[in-house]
Amino acid sequence: MKLKKQVTVCGAAIFCVAVFSLYLMLDRVQHDPTRHQSGGNFPRSQISVLQNRIEQLEQLLEENHEIISHIKDSVLELTAHTEGQPALPHHTPNGSWVLPPESRPSFLSVSPQDCQFALGGKGQSPDLQMMAVYSLLPFDNQDGGVWKQGFDITYEPNEWDMEPLQVFVVPHSHNDPGWIKTFDKYYYDQTQHILNSMVLKMQEDPRRRFIWSEISFFSKWWDNISAQKRAAVRRLVGNGQLEMVTGGWVMPDEANSHYFAMIDQLIEGHQWLEKNIGVTPRSGWAVDPFGYSSTMPYLLKRSNLTGMLIQRVHYAIKKHFAATQNLEFMWRQTWDPDASTDIFCHMMPFYSYDVPHTCGPDPKICCQFDFKRLPGGRINCPWKVPPRAITDANVAERAQLLLDQYRKKSKLYRSKVLLVPLGDDFRYDKPQEWDAQFLNYQRIFDFLNSQPNLHVQAQFGTLSDYFDALYKKVGIVPGMRPPGFPVLTGDFFSYADREDHYWTGYFTSRPFYKSLDRVLEAHLRGAEILFSLALAHARHTGTDGRYPLSDYALLSNARRNLGLFQHHDAITGTAKEAVAVDYGSRLLHSLTNLKRVIINAAHYLVLGDKNTYHHDPAAPFLGMDDMRASQDSLPEKTVVKLGTLPRFLVVFNPLEQERLSVVPVLVDSLHTRVLSEEGQPLPCQLSAHWGSATDVVPDVYQVSVLARLPALGLRVLQLHESFGRPTLASSVRLYLHGRDLPVHQQEAIPLHVFPAAANDFCLENQHLRACFSGHSGLLQNIRRAGEEQEQRVSSEFLVYGTRTSKDKSGAYLFLPDGEAKPYVPKDPPVVRVTEGPLFSEVVSYYQHVQIMVRLYNVPGVEGLSLEVTCLVDIRDHINKELALRFSTDIESDDTFFTDLNGFQIQPRRYQRKLPLQANFYPMPTMAYIQDARSRLTLHTAQALGVSSLASGQLEVVLDRRLMQDDNRGLGQGLKDNKRTCNRFRLLLERRSTANKVQDERPVSFPSLLSHLTSMHLNAEALVLPMAQEKLPPLALRSFLPLSTTLPCDFHILNLRTLQAEDDSLPSAEAALILHRKGFDCSLEAKNLGFNCTTSQGRPPTAPASTWTPWKSPLSASAWCSISGSGRGAVRPGSMGAALSPAAPAWPGSSWASAPGTGEQALGRRCRTLQRLLPSNLLVLCSQISEAAVAGLPVAGAGHGSRQWVGKAALPCSHGCPWRCTGWAPPGPWGSTGAARSLVGLGQLPEELLCTGDQARLELVGNTRLFSKAPGLCLI
């Protein structure tokens, strides 16, 4: 009652302030002195008066908005630590369940400035916009002669007389970390020999060059070579002979990978390179991914790379860009108005990256200069003209022939600098090939360079050698835009390498492993965060000797296995069956280990007395939420056994927002009550646990608990077997549709069996009403609360076949035999309808798919959308692909939207001039269609292929079973299908301020609700039952790490503990990576139940004149903060001192400032992370030691420079527990403008993180992260 009174008072205060503010506005306008000025010249003076009034009104409205926002924040702060248990639901007379209104206030306050970026900036339009290019091209595939997909190239012999042609031949070996062979098999058979030979052969001639990209292989090789060989490698890198390009753990697929995993594998590779070789990559190399996302150039740009190369682009795009000399361009993000995201990109022009397709347009000639194919070798030239060894007798003729190809290729580019890759898959694995290639090419180079009349300079080079020469030729600093070169926005999906062979099948191939990938990713993020928090606390309390530091090795191994699976033949589903099993085994092994890491951290963090912590790997304190019997099986949830004593559950919420969620738990007792840790009963729903359409699993029940879960926190719950007040049971209706099936049920769960089909029926909560077909059990329409009109959203299953001709669908290609046909099962479905107080659901059992649509009866995010789950099993299909299509009356025309890597949205347009398969695109996290009134978004928990083939339609391919190879090198079909669970959320939103001009822009954003819906889907709460069936000997307490609510648009991407010198142990450093998400404000945002606001990138702040030193439980003798001037400041304190959050600095106190101690290892590692993710992903590093704060990187004067400020020696016995060293500067280097968010919206203004007015993010205990002001932070 006290809380309700407080909330009532605060609500009244908000109302009064709003009314009073409006009164002041009117009063000030009425008494505006400009009203009494003489009329004079009416048109000018009166307009001026009106303009002044408008400006005053805008200013007053903004002030009013800030006042109300502060009051809302105060109310949120007031209720943040008051549990306010959800009220129990009750039945109404009409038979429906009603959940009482929330006892806590729910606010959604969007700052107007946060909407501006989505409305578009004033930046210049790009020269090349990929949607426009697709609309322009005829895609006619005319025969181009020797360059079959291009055209004849001619030139004048004297074109290079004034400016010689400069040729860089770049030797490379593309090593797939798994494809035809497993990762280990490739390493032992080929990769180790390539790298061993590289060290020997490169030292024979300082003119030789080589590039390498896959750090996964390189690190394995490094661990097995001598110190002498390592020193040789460092020398080769140091003198520029060997270049590490891109530097990721793998060369990732860019269609199916999620940006968390893309960034993580990039960090893993870059940190390995810095630690072991001391090098930072400068150029990106991606010759084999099957299409390219615009996410990757953004990440590479933020990693301080200045150039990148791509290859697998639609052949018609290549031809068009070659004809217009646009194969090199500045790749810009669609949402970037000021060119801060530009990175220089080189597109290879021809069919492949092998030697026959890289020297010039004629593969018959180029093949003659692949000296591995010399007569007598294992491979030859398909064009029947073999290479010839270069001798004094033939060098002139051979060099002239090759130069002709070089010149023709150079005509496709704008500069007189030419890049010629020299390599292929797993090349240079024998010393003989090194000799054949390098010796013969060197003879050609020596001849060409000795002939001034040829006007050519040829040499071996690295990728960066080429980019540097180009930059020098055009007279610019690396990374800047070369004069006259075009700017491009958009992506390069979908890819076709010839004819109508579109590589759109792999968007769905092997969906089981695509799903397992995302499960592992979610567990890795959760484990990273909990491990970092637990370790920091354990170290400071002196219990780290008992804490399992060995868990860090499990984390490191999981990072690398997740990174390995981002490889473009792994997550794509395009590897051999045995290789897929190897990947799956690695993923499952790491998933199991991560559950151990989470259990150990959760055990420590929920203990009331940390000194009693004891780690026993043989008898873990907490159990796992589920188990998988093998790498190709679905998880089985843990059944909690109840007895006379209560069983405890620890529920982990991996989101940075508090969530009100329905948490499912399997128990062995019908009589179950769930209590909070304070002993208060929580709302529950009892349901049967079904083993099949008509069979209930005996003696197992599902208890679904409505619980409020703290942000990034651990909630302790109690399970009791109680024979008192019964848990609210759900009711079940089973429709058999005339099928004679035995039904096994439990007496305690009401079940009504209907032999015939049902009439159409509906499920409803306070937000929406969903109606279903009584015959099929499939969704038919949705009606949102407050609307009279239903929105048609009908679902159906479809089947695609494959062609009967020679070319058929396979792991890579989607070559359907026409439009999809309706799925016709052998028997009608069994439909089960469950209704209960917390959720209701419809499950339809078909022969090959089981679909569940669930509607949660809870306030907030989970009750605003439909949960859709498809359990697919097509193992008896032959050359079929199963799809799910939603058909609506949304007038979307030919436009739809898909995400890129869960990172940004890319508008798509159905191209009728292209075949059906060309119109499918990757969907890692969401796709939507919209018109002026509505938007329908399909959120997904796994990457799949998606399209909209007609207005109002959205369809997703669920699984593919194909019996043949599609002639792209794999040599197998897709016949190893698994029972696969695909999870979705279907969100229907009303558009309130749609704008036709806005809708035609090549950029779009999800709504804030859509972002949070996606997060709820992809970051499920983890339920950890206490492993021992007895009372815990020690008190357990819920763990709430955040002291205040983060803004709704902030996402903590990771809190990643960095490695020590010993790779298997954690250092005292961690990286906190924040992501501020962009959102579309045109979607209606009423009654969404969010307990958060947006705040222009600023966490809640204190008055500008104060800043608060905090007593940290991790520091024995110091208050640590940093002054607004950027100088470090420390104030000795005592354990007994405690200040309130609003306490100002002590008056008259003397603050000791000390100079910094130099750029230590911490600063070096943080700079690596900052180079990786500066401006829009904030990178912060923590230090828990007696070392001084190393420094705070801020914007420098130019490329590569840093200014270090805020250095302070800390006389803390354990140091300040969380120390930040770097969010990247606002905007591009040296600029002062606001940086853009990761997904392109909103702003990271100068105040985002640091000194001055501080906000606090409580990480451990009372440790807080001060924020505001440019630069970065401290605690």
Active site residues: 288
The rounded distance, in Å, linking the Cα atoms of 278 and 1170 is 16
Amino acid in position 205: D
Question: Burial, 1170: exposed, middle or buried (Cβ in 10 Å; 0-12, 13-18, 19+)?
Answer: buried
Are 874 and 880 a contacting pair, CB within 8 Å? yes
Q: Could you give the C-alpha distances from 579 to 223, 557, 970, in angstroms and in order?
A: 23, 19, 11
Q: Could you give the C-alpha distances from 592 to 381, 519, 520, 558, 1065, in angstroms and in order?
A: 48, 11, 9, 10, 19
Q: What is the CA radius of gyration of the chain?
A: 32
Query: Residue 200 CB: number of other CB atoms within 10 A?
Result: 12
Q: Which two tokens stand for residue 1268?
A: 């505001």
Nearest 5°: the CA angle 1271, 1272, 1275 is 150
Q: Which two tokens stand for residue 971?
A: 């040599």
Are 203 and 232 a contacting pair, CB within 8 Å? yes
Q: Which two tokens stand for residue 608?
A: 């009331």
For 1031-1067, letters b (16+ CB in 10 Å) and e give eeebebebbbbbbbbbbbbbbbbbbbbbbeeeeeebb
The rounded distance, in Å, linking the Cα atoms of 1220 and 1183 is 8
Closest CA to 662 of 681, 677, 683: 683
Half-sphere exposure of 1268 (CA within 13 A, CB side): 24
Question: Burial, 757: exposed, middle or buried (Cβ in 10 Å; 0-12, 13-18, 19+)?
Answer: middle
Instruction: State the DSSP string of 969-980.
Output: S----B-----E
Q: Could you give the C-alpha distances from 1208 to 160, 173, 809, 1153, in angstroms and in order?
A: 58, 47, 63, 6
Q: Which two tokens stand for residue 134?
A: 């697709």
The rounded distance, in Å, linking the Cα atoms of 988 and 695 is 34
Residue count (the chain): 1275
Strands 921-923 and 944-947: antiparallel
Q: Could you give the C-alpha distances from 215 to 233, 245, 943, in angstroms and in order?
A: 14, 10, 25
The rounded distance, in Å, linking the Cα atoms of 56 and 59 is 5
Q: Which two tokens stand for residue 133?
A: 């290019």
* Whether the bond into 1140 is cis, omega within 30 of 0: no
Strands 647-652 and 1022-1025: antiparallel
Are 106 and 96 a contacting pair, CB within 8 Å? no
Query: Residue 650 CB: number of other CB atoms within 10 A?
Result: 25
Contacts (Cβ under 8 Å, ≥6 apart) of 1146: 1131
The rounded distance, in Å, linking the Cα atoms of 425 and 181 is 13
The rounded distance, in Å, linking the Cα atoms of 478 and 1000 is 34
Contacts (Cβ under 8 Å, ≥6 apart) of 31: none
Give φ, ψ of 104 to 5 degrees: -110, 150
